[in-house]
Each structure stands twice: as C-alpha cells, then as structure tokens.
Structure 1
Amino acid sequence: MSQPYGQQPPGEYNQGQPGYGAMPPAPPEYTAGPVGRPGGVTAAAVLAFVQAGITLICTIFALIIFGALSSAVGESESKYGITIDKGLLAVGWIVAIVGLIGAGLLIWAGIRTLSGTAGQLMVIAAGLQIVLCIVWLAALGGGLIAILLIVMPIISLSLVLTGAAKQYEASKRGQLA
C-alpha cells in the first residue's frame, strides 16, 4: 500500500538523518613553508650586482693602464721621463686580477642570494670587496672611487646578516630558523 506524497506510514517515526560522526580536526597551521623574500635580501643582491659592474669597469680600465705601462716600460724603470715602480705595478696587476675574481663572486653571490641559497657566499664576496677597496686605498691610492665602492659591500653585508634574511634562507633549505 502506497502512501500519498509527503505522508509517513503509520508506526514509523522520523528518527532524523543518520549521524555523520565527529567533525574532522582542523588542518595544522602552515608555518614551516617558504617565507617571502624580504626587501633587504633583494637590496643586497642588487647592491652586489651594481658593485660587480662598477668593479668590472674599474678593473678593465686598470688592466688597460697596467698593460700600457708594462709594455711602455719594458726592461727600463723609466720611459719618457716617467719613473715606474715595478713592485707597485705588480701589486696593481694582482689587485686587478683579484678584482675580476671578486666581481665574479659578487655576481654569483647576488644570484644565489635572490634564490635564498647564498649561505656564506655573499659574506665572502662582500668581504673580499672590502679588503680589495682597502688595498686600493692603502697601496695604490684609490681615492674617492675606493671610498665610494667600500660602502656598497658593507651595506649588502649588513642586509644579508639580518634575522629576516637568515630566516628566508633557512626556509628555502626546509628548516625553520
């Protein structure tokens, strides 16, 4: 016997819908994921790129000058009334070659800093540039350019050593600082 639509047969009571059980637990908070790149890290990388570019320009200019002086002087210590200290010229060549290496390290450190995997590379590259600028000032009389160039690695070094930069790097390694 069928019941008309919407009516319940006699004797059957509405017991409600079957239970769905307890509410599932909330998902854990997401705190161990990658941290967004802080502005200081980006600024440190940009300063590294700028420092590398200026270092390359100055180093190429110095290499051209040192090459011209070396070929002009040859075996004698003076040419056209200009006395050249060969020891100082040798120091200039060494500093120029270290400048090329330092510029390459800065570019590599800047790229790795942006990706969050620089580690101690930026510290080494910036430290090398600081030492290079001090040598330019002390031995070769680098003047205003060396004074201006020493500022950028100091700033980038201080930006990379902040807590936010270290946390960003640690999050990229899968660790929480």
Structure 2
Amino acid sequence: MSQPYGQPGDPNQGYGAMPPAPPEYSSGPIPRPGTVTTAAVLAFVQAGLTLICTIVLMIGLGAISGAIDDAESIGGVEVNEGALAGLWILAIVGLVGGGLLIWGGVKALSGTAGQILVIAAGLQILLCLIWLVAFEGGIVSILLAVMPIITLVMALGGPAKQFEASRSGRA
C-alpha cells in the first residue's frame, strides 16, 4: 500500500521526534560600523582642538605666573592667584582629556574598549560646561561641546555595542 505524501509510515508512531535545532551560528567579528569610525575621528579632532587650546592656555598661564613672581600686579591689574590655580587645574585636565580621547578613539577603532571613549567624551563635555559657566566661555564652549556629544551618542549606539561585543566574543 502506497502512502500519500506527508503521511507517516506507521499510524501508531506519528511523525516522530523533531530534529535538533542547528547550532547557533556566529560569523565571528562583524565589520566596523561607520558610526564607530565617525566617533573615533571626531574624538581625534576634538583631542587636537583640546590639546591646541590647552597648550596655548598653558603658555599664557606660564607667562602670567612668571610676571606675578616679579610683581604683585600686571599692568595695574591684580591677578587672583586662586583663579590662576583653577586655570592650571583645567589645563591639566584638558591634557588628560585630550590623551583619553586619542586613546579611546584608537581603542574604539579596534573594538576593544569603547568605555574609554565614553569617559573621554563625558570629560570633554564636563570641561566645556565648566568653561561655559565659570568663565563665560560663550559660543566657543558650546561649539567645542558639539563633537563630544555626537561622539558620546555614537559610542553608546547599538552598532558600536554590537561591534565591541563581536570583538570580545560576547556576541
């Protein structure tokens, strides 16, 4: 007796067990998304701008500090040494922030440590806010905050997280 298609051979056995599911397939590391490349490039540009501004600031602060050692005022204007110390601290934080941006950009491109880029971008945003509020940095501080904000959004996005996870084996 011939069995029609789709019918079991023995009516008492049914269709049998379901075949096992295929093993989960991972193609390995995924190619780097454009958002990761863009975030890294913006980090490098921001680092360059930050380091240039910081070096100019440090040169100016060095000149002012040297002039204060010689006199109590510069051109008849008394210099607040507390504000001067605060500017030195901001300059050092700027150097650290620029270095972190470079390091974070390199690490993000390799897909190994996007958190460094997130921390560096957050530090840059904080620095821009301090300049804006404390020293009335105006439009320059706002413009310098745009790139780290975009970098932060891209570094925290889904494609960046998937890229990092595929590189670390957590995919």
Say whether the fold is shared (TM-score over 0.5).
Answer: yes
Does structure 2 conserve the Cα–Cα contact (< 8 Å) formed by 1:32 and 1:171? no
**Is 1:57 paired with 2:70?**
no
Match of 1:6 in 2: none
Counterparts of 2:74 and 2:44 in 1: how far apart (Å)? 39
Counterparts of 1:142 and 1:72 in 2: how far apart (Å)? 24
**Is 1:136 paired with 2:131?**
yes
User: What count of residue pairs does the alignment treat as equivalent?
Assistant: 150
Match of 2:89 in 1: 94
Partner-residue secondary structure (3-state), 1:102: helix
Does structure 1 conserve the Cα–Cα contact (< 8 Å) formed by 2:35 and 2:160? yes
**Higher Cα Rg: structure 1 or 2?**
1
Counterparts of 1:57 and 1:162 in 2: how far apart (Å)? 29
Long gaps (5+) in structure 2: 1-21
Does structure 2 conserve the Cα–Cα contact (< 8 Å) formed by 1:48 and 1:156? yes
Counterparts of 2:123 and 2:58 in 1: how far apart (Å)? 19
Long gaps (5+) in structure 1: 1-26
Aligned-residue RMSD, C-alpha:
1.7
**Is 1:104 paired with 2:104?**
no
Partner-residue secondary structure (3-state), 1:175: coil
Q: TM-score, normalised by structure 2?
A: 0.82
Identity across matched positions, percent: 61
Larger % of helix: which? 2
Match of 1:165 in 2: 160
- How far is 1:91 from its partner? 0.6
Offset from partner CA, 1:18-42 (integer Å, 9 cap, x none): xxxxxxxxx9675341111110000
